[in-house]
Chains A and B, each alone.
Chain A
Amino acid sequence: MSLTDQLLAGLVSYGLPMIFGAVLIASAGIPLPVTVLLVAAGSFVAQGDLNLRWVIGLAISAAVLGDQIGYFLGRWGGGALLARTSRLVGGAEQMQKAERVARRWGGPGIFLSRWLFTALGPAFNVSSGITQYPWPRFFIWDVAGEAVWVVLYVLAGELFSSRVQALSTLLGDLTWVMVGLFLTFVFGKLLWNQTRSARRAPIEQPERVH
């Protein structure tokens, strides 16, 4: 049986504790297919086996708790990693720049990575900790994003309760499309900036010489 099947069998057998445990572990950074778990939980809500409020409340709590683990791992254990990374990307100055970018765009990034670019969520948790993104702000954006994620997927499961597998596959692929679009935009912008500065360089160079 695949990992997804084992998780879903666990949901059928144990219900709410399974949702809490799996979502907590996945949010802390261990890759588990919890999207399908939330969709299936929505389906069991529609069939009267699970209570909607309990499912939503427990899933949000587990997700937020797991995210805090990732954040504080980055914050407390990120020192050595930071030193190594800063050498790779061009020194302390580049890292300070990264911190400034994280502080400026961190909030919306955290929010969107909870429910739209879900595959990037654990990386955002750790990087927010490493870049010392203020914890109260991280927490608020995190709770808001996780609430959207849980409500969206559980209600989708409740609405299309007879097609858990088809819906999960569709939503899973859609998430990767969003991640792909996000990365295409980021790398496209970087490439554009590099190309522009490379074009300017030969014009500026003769001025410096004279």
Chain B
Amino acid sequence: MQQRRIIGLAFLAALLLTSFFGVRVLHHRSRFATGVDETIRPWMNVPYVAHSYHVPVPVLLDALGLQPHPPDRRPIRVIARQQGRSEDEIMTTLQHAIDEFRKHPAPPRAPQPPGRSPGAPGRP
């Protein structure tokens, strides 16, 4: 009798587990299907953020004051440490650059040949 009760409780626990994660799956499925933007996290590198938000990589590197070539592939947390800034600050800067680009999409700044002054056409 006691064994049956324990199995019954285990059965109920398994049902609860299934229902809990089932509801989460439905919730996340709808978020996934609607294509909600990924939250920028410290593990991401700038090319991934650019890829995720469909923004040219140089636009984001430029916002952080980094050279566009070769593209910087370090995680945000490493960039923050090396620039002496907080991760939040870097992520906010990237978010602003993305928002600005989405408001006024413009081609990224072309790499400057040596000897030319900055501020050439193509600068957003």
Contact = CB atoms under 8 A, between A and B. Distances in A.
Interface of A: 1, 4-9, 11-13, 43-44, 47, 49, 161-167, 169-170, 173-174, 176-177, 179-181, 183-184, 186-188, 190-191, 194-195, 198
Nearest to B3: A194
B14 A183 contact: yes
Interface residues of B, number: 42
Interface of B: 1, 3-4, 7-8, 10-11, 13-15, 17-22, 24-25, 28-29, 31-32, 35-36, 38-39, 41-45, 47-48, 51-54, 73-75, 77-78
B38 A164 contact: yes
Contacts, number: 113
A33 B27 CA distance: 21
Secondary structure class of chain B's binding surface, majority of residues: helix
Contact of B7 (A5, A13, A180, A187): A187
Contact of B11 (A44, A181, A187): A187
Contact of B21 (A13, A43, A180, A188): A180
Secondary structure class of chain A's binding surface, majority of residues: helix
B7 A191 contact: yes
